[in-house]
Amino acid sequence: MTYVVNGRNFDEEPAPGQCLRTFLRSLGHFGVKKGCDAGDCGACTVWLDGEPVHSCITPAFRADGREVTTIEGLGSPGSLHPMQRQFRDAPGFQCGFCTAGMIMTSATFTEAQKADLPRALKGNLCRCTGYRGIEDAVKGVTGVETAAPGKAVGTSVRAPAANDVVTGRAEFTMDTHIDGMLHLKVLHSPHAHARIVSIDKTAALAVPGVHRVYTWEDVPRKRFTTAIHTDHLVDPDDTYILDHTVRFAGQRVVAVLADTVGAAEEGCRRVAVEYEVLPAVFDPEEAMAEGAPQLHGAEDAFALDPVHNVLLEIHSQVGDVDAGFAAADVIHEGTYFSPRVQHAHLETHGSIAWMENGRLNVRTSSQSPSIAKVKLAHLFALRPDQLRVFCKRVGGGFGGKQEVISEDLVALATLDTGRPVCFEYTREEEFTTASPRHPMTLTVKLGAKADGTLTAFQVRNVSNTGAYGNHGGETLYAGGAAIMIYRCPNKKYDAYSVYTNTVPSGALRGYGMTQPAYAVESAMHELALALHMDPLELRRRNIVRPGDPLVAMHEGPDDVMFTEDGLGKCIALVDEAMARTADEPPPGPGWLVGTGVASSLHETAPPTEHISEAWVTLGDDLMYELAVGTVEFGEGTSTAHVQIAAGQLGTTPSRIRLVQSDTDRTGFDTGAFASAGLFVSGNAVLRAANAVRDRILEFAAAHTGIHVVMCSMDDGGVVCGDHRVSLAELVALARARGIRFTAARKAYGSPRSVTSNTQGFRIAVHRVTGEIRILYSVQATDAGLVINPEQVRGQVEGGVAQGIGFALTENFQVDADGVMANPNFRNYRIPTYADIPRTEVLLVDSADSVGPMRSKGMAECCINPVAPALANALHDATGIRYRALPLTPERIYSRLGESQSAPTTA
């Protein structure tokens, strides 16, 4: 067959049944991405004779004799197609994994299609942006700015990789091919709980192309935790690479290594496994009951109470809640449920390993290559110098890649065979085996005086950690911020992290705070109504203020800086915004309109130790090289780091060459999670850039004989009094003396700051169908000093969009056997463009931060108030309190016939 791809002829024969996506990637066109393999996400969009198609569901043979255009053929970095330029300059991307498909679709739009984007973009999904940036890109709205030398901070400069992202040249994890590479696939358990009696590899090894079949007997018998933190002791070592007992449907049982993906998959089908099926338990309350099936039992040295499947319990009390409730005029109590939700990052998990000069190299989609390296070294008894772990651009994370769940198997296979090995998750594997958000059931009991003053605050939290502990303990502690947000002399928190025979839960944007925030902020709304008080006024009267202790579980000292009333300012801004806007309900009868608000407080770094090291060097080419371990996956840290360095060095971002996320080329970095990519790593960058600046100034001062205080840097040199010395001259002089302008500096996640968010919604609910339409969305956020206004706005919009999906459309359905029943985008339903309104983003001016230049990270905290604000708006519209998410039309409709009444109080 003959194919014309981007104007070049290929005489190639695709494999029988091969799709166009995999065929094009085999030809080296890696801009064609895999997000779903089902025609749902649009990341693989290419043109056939000028018409956009989803190449993952287009047979390769259908392109025979036709002209195929991929993102690489649409334009180049030096000659961008107009739509590529618009996506670069809006900007219309964050992680960039969906961008090629978005551009290939949007570049074909007529004016009529641009005027109806909900329909025109229905086949393309984005998990990062919230779609506003994409809309701006399609319509030619420019958001990026050019920074003057030394003035990058506070300017919406372009992302360093922008040109590569919009032309499909930015490398993601799987965008490479290594000669002789083998492919690994996994056989997953069909049972929620079973003991493996025997495994017969014979038929699998007979499949042509199969090289190895690995079982639990073939791997190091070392316990570890897949969760990533600097201090691994905060997470339980309750996991093996492969085990003889499976504890959830989907757990990996066997790994098959073969020449092709097809051969590996066939090998998995041929493995014969005999199981002894064991009793299973799926509900955490049932799992804690006497006589429940034990998941780990006495084998688990880390669980607090393995007999009752309890990984961790927290019991804390400040003051006397019984006395507080006795003193209350009004008491409200309610139980709220927040279910599993999936990260749904468009790039699935995956890793590639190979040997080079006797060293193991692992290229992976991770939020922390440094700690992935530590874990692999432990598992395979490697010295640090025997191992390199690195990332290219990562296609979304949201906490889902704060785990080591693909790296171990490729390392195992490469160390065994000496061959390069690739392991890439399918979308179904993401849903059934990767770690979703913890389901939590929270009972909140609040007592208040008639004037709204809180007298008692009690929370019981039961968290379903699934079959393994991962982040089960740390997320339980993180929920304390939902209690910390309000002043109250009497607080009690009882919490349980419980093992069940379900997919292990993990880290997800908001990290243990989103679920308690939903419960507490819903309960505060209900309490306000019982007090006949405006919900915002009740919050104003009870929020913590500067000078108040931040009390959740204890009254001891902490390392949190809290000197400005950012939360009060957020509430005021949202109140004003809701008052000045008015939105008409959709046309037609039957619509109920309601408004809702919610707030959250979030610490700017995790309480566990977070470390980052940055290196800055002025090179002979007069470019500054900035090396930092933080991974870029759409959170914008790369841009912020370059801006910080450019600002301190008196130059422009174009003069900063960024090296990142490579354990061979950068210092240790705990990872890009908990907003620490800006707050901690940004401080390391700031200190390293300052150190290099000071060395250059001192050298220039000594050279000119002018005091250093009279010297300052500009874009190409140093001005000392009336004399200017070029950087080229200074570098040459320094080299002659054996001096290099370079520095390394570290930063730590302590002390910390707090950031605040308040979300407001106005919605319409149809009384017949239960459909919700969002009429207006606004979020005020305390971002400290804003490094890049466009990026901050994009992070908030993306967080709100993700929160809307969690609250309204995303339903992680598990059947009676513990198996996820809807493991695909089509049935899980992450939001599309049509589902997401434009969110007005209001920034609070504050400076109470110890982050770089007094900035605060925004990628995580913005999601926390979204679901409760929607639930409160629904209550306001219908008079009915829905306490379980998601708020689907079916769930809403089923109760719309109830009498509309005030919430139950005691």
Helix (H), strand (E) at residue 287: helix 284-288
pLDDT of amino acid 634: 96
Q: How many CA atoms lie within 13 A of 26 on its CB side?
A: 15
Please compute, for residue 167, the number of CA atoms within 13 A of its CA located in the half-sphere on the CB side.
15
Find out whether 405 and 379 touch, Cβ atoms under 8 Å: no
Mean pLDDT of 323-336: 98
Contact (Cβ atoms closer than 8 angstroms) between residue 147 and residue 155:
yes
Mean pLDDT of 121-144: 98
Beta carbons of 783 and 858 less than 8 angstroms apart: yes
509-528 pLDDT, tens digit each? 999 999 999 999 999 999 99
Q: What percent of the chain has pLDDT over 70?
A: 99
The mean pLDDT of 563-573, rounded to a whole number, is: 95
pLDDT, tens digit, for every residue of 740-752?
A: 999 999 999 999 9
In the prediction, which pLDDT does 306 show?
A: 83
H helical segments located in 737-865: 789-804, 825-828
Q: Is the pLDDT of residue 712 over 70?
A: yes
Spatial distance between the Cα atoms of 818 and 232, rounded to a whole number of angstroms: 29
The pLDDT of residue 126 is above 90: yes
- Sign, CA torsion 893/894/896/900: negative
Stretch 113-121: mean pLDDT, rounded?
98
Place of tokens 């002025």: 618
What band does 901 get if pLDDT is binned at 50, 70 and 90?
A: very low
Beta strands across the sheet bearing 310-318: 310-318, 491-499, 454-466, 440-448, 330-338
Residue 1 has a pLDDT of: 84
Read off the tokens for 103. Answer: 């551009």
Nearest to 285 by CA among 468, 463, 445: 463
Does 606 have pLDDT greater than 90?
A: no
Q: Is residue 663 over pLDDT 80?
A: yes
Does the pLDDT at position 178 exceed 70? Answer: yes
357-366 pLDDT, tens per residue? Answer: 999 999 999 9
Alpha-carbon gap, residue 293 to 281, rounded angstroms = 6
Q: Give residue-wise pLDDT tens across range 254-285.
A: 999 999 999 999 999 999 999 999 999 999 99
Provide the 8-state DSSP code for 395: S
Task: Compare 902 and 757 and report the one with higher pLDDT.
Answer: 757
Q: Which two tokens stand for residue 202?
A: 């014979």
DSSP code at position 626: E
How confident is the prediction for the chain on average, in pLDDT?
Answer: 96
Q: Tell me, what's the pLDDT at 248?
A: 98
Residue 906 has pLDDT above 80, yes or no: no
> Which is it for strands 359-364 and 350-356: parallel, antiparallel or unpaired?
antiparallel
pLDDT in tens, 855-880: 999 889 999 999 999 999 999 999 99
Residue 702 and residue 714: Cα distance in Å, rounded?
18
> Which two tokens mark 902?
């005030």
Q: What is the pLDDT of residues 181-223, one digit of tens each?
A: 999 999 999 999 999 999 999 999 999 999 999 999 999 999 9
**Cα 379 from chain centre:** 26
Q: What is the mean pLDDT of residues 91-104?
A: 98
* Cα(300)–Cα(823) distance, integer angstroms: 30
d(CA 239, CA 610) in angstroms, rounded, equals: 24
For 92, the 3-state DSSP assignment is: coil
Which pLDDT belongs to residue 417? Answer: 98
CA 42 to chain centre: 20
CA dist 24 → 56, 264, 267, 393 (Å): 10, 21, 25, 20
The answer to whether 509 touches 802, Cβ cutoff 8 Å, is yes
Per-residue pLDDT averaged across 540-567, rounded?
90
pLDDT in tens, 383-412: 999 999 999 999 999 999 999 999 999 999
The terminus-to-terminus CA distance of the chain in angstroms comes to 76
**For residue 562, what pLDDT band results from cuts at 50, 70 and 90?**
confident
CA distance 836 to 820: 26
Q: What is the mean pLDDT of the segment spanning 12-39?
A: 96
d(CA 288, CA 499): 9
The letter for the amino acid at 894 is S
- Residue 899, pLDDT > 70, answer no
What pLDDT score does 494 carry? 97
Are 629 and 681 contacting, i.e. CB atoms less than 8 angstroms apart?
yes
Res 141: pLDDT? 98
Give percent of the chain above pLDDT 90. Answer: 92
State which amino acid sits at residue 679. Answer: F
Query: Residues 762-769: what's their mean pLDDT?
Result: 96
Tokens of 600: 């959250």
Q: For residue 629, is pLDDT > 70?
A: yes
pLDDT, position 307: 85
Neighbours of 835 (CB within 10 A): 18
Nearest 10 degrees: Cα torsion 57, 70, 397, 860? -120
Residue 903 predicted with pLDDT over 50: no
Copy the structure tokens of residue 375.
């874990």
Structure confidence by residue, pLDDT tens digits, 531-551: 999 999 999 999 999 989 888
Predicted confidence at residue 902, as pLDDT, reads 41
pLDDT given at position 674: 87
Q: What is the pLDDT of residues 584-603, one digit of tens each?
A: 899 999 999 999 999 999 99
